[in-house]
Amino acid sequence: MLIADLGALHARYPTYNAQTVLEIMRHVGAKKVILASVTPQIWTSGVWRDVEHPVLFALDDDRFPVEAIGTDWTWAELEQDKMLGFLKMYPQGLERLRELRHNELDLKDMLSKPLDAFSIHGLIPELPVLKAVKTFHNKSAVVLEEGPGTAHRKRRLEELATKLESFRDVVVLTPLDDLPDLLEMGFKTVDLTGFKPGVASRFRAVVDRAYSLHENDDLDTLVHSLLELDGAPDSALGRIALEARFAASGVYLAVGDLESARDLLEAVAMGQFDRPAYLPGFVLSRLGQVRDLMGERQPAIRAYTAALALRWLPISAKAVAQSGLAAPFALA
């Protein structure tokens, strides 16, 4: 049973976010999830944490049993980059690249529309989003020709299909890009009959929304929505509620309410905030920034130092902590 993975785009869709994917897995009774595009080495080493991939963090946070079966196709991607660079050198090549960009615009337009689990996994023969994905890759194969120009897409999918045939009654998390082709090869998507997004999905949607502020947002309502989220301390809801307080600190920082931002960050830092894995680094590095803005340099240094002492922290949080140690943070 295939479930579509949208990578970083999950944060854009309130009704198909990372928690929605976990709820689907539980809905179909999955005991383990197969990661089709992540190699065993990348999963076990934790390198995947350096890429914005909400579902992988949600699986890790939930301690959901995972088996990564992906193959390293970096060499094929490098071949593709080399070919695209070569095409830029010639008029005919530039024409092909313009056609490719035009194809991308059609797909981006489709992905800019609201998506939910049913619009990707529904029983309708040709769902618009899947049709758009398939059309994009078909046209790309015509423009660039199958092989280096498509990062050997056909060969990769055939090898993936062979691997998946050895599994029975499992859930497979596969990129949306690959879903239409795998369906044509005879694989099926999950049966969503009776499925409804749950509380965790709603919690996640509120937090994701707070990470993408818009000029006309009602910030009071947003902060209230974030702070009303609550759950048992050692539960998925409790951990999302903690992250919601971090997200609310960003809203307070955006409007200049430094004391409220500091109080929220310190409250999060005093709890069990080791999951999701990115949260400690973001909390401590932002706490350092807020302390600096309040003129509290020594507490700021302690926060930056604590962030850098973590076993792992996001690349962006690391950059914040390192620059904060070098010089006090200040708003431009």
- What pTM was estimated for this model as a whole? 0.91
Burial letters 259-278, b for 16+ CB under 10 A, else e? ebbbebbbebbeeebebbbb
* Residue range 189-212: mean pLDDT, rounded: 94
Q: Which residue, 289, 274, 277, is CA-closest to 320?
A: 289
Q: With bands split at pLDDT 50, 70 and 90, how would you rate the model's confidence at 274?
A: confident
> What pLDDT is recorded for position 41?
95
Total count of residues recorded for the chain = 332
Q: Which residue, 189, 29, 27, is CA-closest to 124?
A: 189
Rg of the Cα trace of the chain? 22
Structure tokens at 119: 């619009």
Q: With bands split at pLDDT 50, 70 and 90, how would you rate the model's confidence at 154?
A: very high
Residue 253 has pLDDT above 70, yes or no: yes
* Residue range 263-292: mean pLDDT, rounded: 91
* Residue range 218-246: mean pLDDT, rounded: 92
Q: What are the DSSP calls for 219-230, one per residue?
A: HHHHHHHHHT--
> What pLDDT is recorded for position 234?
81
> What pLDDT is recorded for position 106?
86
Q: Which residue, 6, 224, 272, is CA-closest to 114?
A: 6
Q: With bands split at pLDDT 50, 70 and 90, how would you rate the model's confidence at 124?
A: low
Residue 35 has pLDDT above 90, yes or no: yes
What's 67's DSSP letter?
E
Please state whether beta strands 33-35 and 171-175 pair in parallel, antiparallel, or not at all (unpaired): parallel
- More confident position, 156 or 272: 156
Q: What is the pLDDT of residues 61-105, one digit of tens each?
A: 999 999 999 999 999 999 999 999 998 998 988 998 998 888 889
- More confident position, 175 or 217: 175
* Residue range 161-171: mean pLDDT, rounded: 91
Q: With bands split at pLDDT 50, 70 and 90, how would you rate the model's confidence at 215?
A: confident
- Give first-to-last CA distance, the chain, whole Å: 50
What's 50's DSSP letter?
G
Percent above pLDDT 70 for the chain: 99
Q: With bands split at pLDDT 50, 70 and 90, how would you rate the model's confidence at 4?
A: very high
On average, the pLDDT of the chain sits at: 93
> Per-domain residue ranges for the chain?
1-196
CA–CA dist 126, 131 (Å, integer):
6
Q: With bands split at pLDDT 50, 70 and 90, how would you rate the model's confidence at 123?
A: low
Residue 244 has pLDDT above 60, yes or no: yes
Question: 291 near 262, Cβ under 8 Å?
Answer: yes
> What pLDDT is recorded for position 271?
75
> E strands, the chain, where?
2-5, 33-35, 66-68, 171-175
> What pLDDT is recorded for position 332?
76
CA–CA dist 154, 150 (Å, integer):
8
Residue 231 has pLDDT above 70, yes or no: yes
Neighbours of 243 (CB within 10 A): 26
> What pLDDT is recorded for position 125?
56
Please state whether beta strands 2-5 and 171-175 pair in parallel, antiparallel, or not at all (unpaired): parallel
Q: What is the pLDDT of residues 42-67, one digit of tens each?
A: 999 999 999 999 999 999 999 999 99
3-state secondary structure of 275: coil
> What pLDDT is recorded for position 77?
94
